[in-house]
Structure 1
């Protein structure tokens, strides 16, 4: 028997997606702070402390430990729970923070666990635990960027992840290997053997335009890959912005005007 709340959903949009979740009376969905787009009247919104699983047996120290782990992934100490306190069905919608796709995952079908990038989690049915997953080789993890600290979603309900650009799902056969740029790796099932490797040859790093590390994943299992990591998009935007943009040296109106003129070709 499933311990998580069972929720229905619809994903709207193409490249700027949001997920609309339908809640029966007393059903709850948890989400990252700031991801709410809209909700029907009759839904109660409450900040929760910890990993979002709603388990009370861990006590205060357990909740403090779980909340502290979330700080390591760059997330807020708190998550938000949305509960339908009405007598009929109610809907709540959650929007992705940047262009890309929303990926629904049935954790029960995935073996009760999904490992994903630290900023990939968007929302989930109540009962799903959002924790952290450490790379086994600490040394390569520290220098491998996204490879060191990842999130883990545990439970038997629905969870929603978000990633940038186009998303591809790869189902790996036993022994089949796939090498992925660490930033392009979104998520994988726990039976996938995962490691970080250094790119051999200094010339590859200096002249190839790629990072020093990539992720090697070995099947069996399922892997999700994104074509446009947000870090890559942000670095290109920052590099193309006029000098002084966003630094406070100029007023924001003049900086925005410079970008507008640049786009017009003036």
Structure 2
């Protein structure tokens, strides 16, 4: 294997975290801010890019790190290495309520495409790159944008998403239509496209958006029940907009005032 071999345990149900066990000199890479806790003898180091062995030379590292900017991520990642003489543990948590998916890339064809903010952590050697959508329609109207993340290698990687995660196995030629925001990840053989919702009334008044993702097998797809964008939209719509509480009490007060009450 080119990647470090790591053991792991996922804890929790609705607000999960992953506990990674490192042998001496083993390393796991993670997005900045995802650390939950770690035992002694584990050393942290900020690295340029993902630290994968696929990046050749200084310019290779520059290009690999630069691509991360296109996905809205930082140029840097954090490497956690066990410098002790025995096994040690380090844990990483999701940034919002949801689930964590363990992906053994050696069993998934060495490559998985995921939404740009789904990556949580991985064994050192896993390449975190950029996947460009081939069709302009997919790029401009897909819920995940023109650019998605690409995880390559033969080690373990972990991605997270909101709500409950559901795994769908698509057979040859089988098609699945998904809300664009609910798509989390897919294996490399799955064909991914964007389709316009038919019917002007459905598109404008259906409340489900103008586009959905069409996924064609064979391959594996992971879907989330509660995209963070949907959660954030509901929270924002419930926030007071005039500096006061917009709850039931305020509604009744405004009604009373309109009727001439004191």
Higher alpha-carbon Rg: 2
Partner of 1:149: 147
C-alpha displacement at 1:144, in angstroms?
Answer: 2.3
Considering only aligned residues, what root-mean-square deviation do their CA atoms show, in Å? Answer: 1.9
Q: Residue 30 of structure 1 aligns with which residue?
A: 29
Which runs of structure 1 show a deviation greater than 6 angstroms over 4 or more consecutive aligned residues? 259-262
Q: Aligned partners of 1:48, 1:11: CA distance in 2, in Å?
A: 25
Q: Contact 2:186–2:222 (CA<8 Å) still a contact in 1? A: yes
Equivalents in 2 of 1:153, 1:9: separation in Å? Answer: 18
- Are the structure 2 counterparts of residues 100 and 259 from structure 1 closer, same or farther at C-alpha, using a change threshold of 3 Å? farther
Contiguous gaps of at least 5 residues in structure 2: 254-262
Match of 1:49 in 2: 48
Partners of 2:54 and 2:171 lie apart in 1 by 36
Output one character per residue of 1:237-259: Cα deviation in whole Å (capped at 9) or x when no partner: 01101115xxxxx6xxxx7xx48
- Give the equivalent residue in structure 1 for 2:3: 4
SS state at 1:222 partner: strand
CA contact under 8 A between 1:52 and 1:130: conserved in structure 2?
A: no
- The residue correspondences of 1:53-72 to structure 2 (distance < 5 A) are 53-55=52-54, 58-72=56-70
Distance in 1 of aligned mates of 2:27 and 2:238: 43
CA shift, 1:200, in A, is 2.0
CA distance in 2: counterparts of 1:259 and 1:119, whole angstroms: 32
2:82 counterpart residue number: 84
How far residue 141 of structure 1 moved from its aligned partner, in angstroms, is 1.1
Q: Paired residue for 1:212?
A: 210
Question: Cα deviation per residue 1:31-87 (whole Å; 9 max; x = unaligned)?
Answer: 00000000001001001101331445x222221211111111111110100000000
Partner deviation per Cα, 1:192-246 (whole Å, 9 max, x = no partner): 11111122222112110011111111111000000000000001001101115xx
Q: Residues 10, 260 of structure 1: CA spacing in aligned structure 2 closer, same or farther, 3 A cutoff?
A: farther
Given that 1:37 and 1:95 are in contact with CA atoms closer than 8 Å, whether structure 2 keeps it comes out as yes
Matches within 5 A, 1:178-217: 178-217=176-215
> CA offset at residue 147 of structure 1?
4.4
Question: Cα deviations across residues 105-163 of structure 1 (Å, max 9, x unaligned)?
Answer: 10000000000000110000000000010111124411223142110100000000001
Query: Which residue is 1:247 aligned to?
Result: none
TM-score, normalising length: structure 1: 0.90
Q: 1:86 to 1:227 in 2, by over 3 A?
A: same
Conserved 8 A contact 1:189-1:221: yes
Deviates more, 1:72-81 or 1:46-55: 46-55
Counterpart of 1:145 in 2: which secondary structure? coil
Cα separation, 2, equivalents of 1:197 and 1:68: 31
